[in-house]
Amino acid sequence: MTQSNIIVALDYPDSNAALHMADQLDPARCRLKIGKELFTRSGPDIVKMLQQKGFDIFLDLKYHDIPNTVAKACAAAADLGVWMMNVHTLGGPAMMSAAREAIGSQHDAPLLIGVTLLTSMDQQTFEAIGLQGTIQETVLRLAVMAADNGLDGVVCSAHETSMLKAELGSQFQLVTPGIRPAGSAKGDQHRIMTPAQAIQAGSHYLVIGRPITASVDPMQKLIEIESELA
Ligand code: C5P
């Protein structure tokens, strides 16, 4: 297993495109994230194919359902041998603890991560769905709930990591998207940090998509990011 803290987001519509990108990367130097689009089209087969190439897989399906259903889905993901998976913390304490119980806590169990509030949620949407207070307070409350119910960490903005680390300690894993090396296009991300800034602020894992996958030489870009971190 690699020690890399870089997770490359394989946001592709089919397995050919995902495999083509994976072939340009080194499993000793990054892990891969499979999300809803790729998984819905290519299913467990793409997970297995990428694992056979030596990659650790973060299965980013953000499960959110009744506790029994989420527990069964998590057990199925664990059977695929993924390295990390996630659930939506808004599913509540019983759902999160059912997920934990379903995959166990042995050292080889997948890392179980919670999504707090999606970064696409602005204050207006937050209020429209009936949530109260501030987005930041809510992220903190949901992250504390995740920790209390056995999750290993949360997905969060790099701008939230120092608050979460102060509250939850340095063992609670913070997985941060919205990473842009200096000079990369922001794309649709708003609150960005460079890889070094994010690690400095307390991120354990960096989810990086387009800065690597849209680069003319993805492996070279990965090496540049590694050296920025070193
Ligand atoms: O290409 P880019 O680096 O923006 O990709 C970031 C990845 O992280 C995408 O797969 C995106 O769906 C995911 N993500 C995110 N913000 C979140 C949660 C996940 O950008 N809050």
- Atom 14, ligand 1: residue with shortest CA distance: 177
DSSP state of 201: T
Whether 176 is in the pocket of ligand 1, judged by its Cβ within 6 Å, is no
Evaluate if pTM is beyond 0.75.
Answer: yes
CA distance 5 to 162: 18
- Atom 19, ligand 1: residue with shortest CA distance: 177
The tens digit of pLDDT for each residue in 125-148 reads 999 999 999 999 999 999 999 999
Question: How many CB atoms are located within 10 Å of the residue 182 CB?
Answer: 9
Whether 139 is in the pocket of ligand 1, judged by its Cβ within 6 Å, is no
Whether 153 is in the pocket of ligand 1, judged by its Cβ within 6 Å, is no
Q: How confident is the model at residue 120 (pLDDT cuts 50, 70, 90)?
A: confident
Model confidence at 65: pLDDT above 90: yes
Concatenating the DSSP letter of every residue in 147-167 gives HHTT--EEE--TTTHHHHHHH
What's the confidence (pLDDT) of residue 27? 98
Whether 181 is in the pocket of ligand 1, judged by its Cβ within 6 Å, is no
Closest CA to 112 of 74, 82, 85: 85
CA of 48 to the centre of ligand 1 (A): 22
Q: Is 217 buried (19+), middle (13-18) or exposed (0-12) by CB count in 10 A?
A: exposed
Percent over 90 (pLDDT), the chain: 91
Domains of the chain with bracketed CATH: 6-229 (3.20.20.70)
DSSP E strand boundaries for the chain: 6-9, 31-34, 57-63, 84-88, 111-115, 153-155, 173-176, 205-208
CA distance 224 to 110: 29
CA distance 163 to 184: 26
Q: Are 18 and 12 in contact (CB under 8 A)?
A: yes
Q: Are 175 and 113 in contact (CB under 8 A)?
A: yes
Q: Are 178 and 189 in contact (CB under 8 A)?
A: yes
CA distance 63 to 41: 17
The token duo for 99 is 């997920």
Tokens 């680069």: give the residue. Answer: 215
CA distance 107 to 100: 13
CA of 28 to the centre of ligand 1 (A): 22
Percent over 70 (pLDDT), the chain: 100
Model confidence at 176: pLDDT above 80: yes
DSSP E strand boundaries for 103-151: 111-115
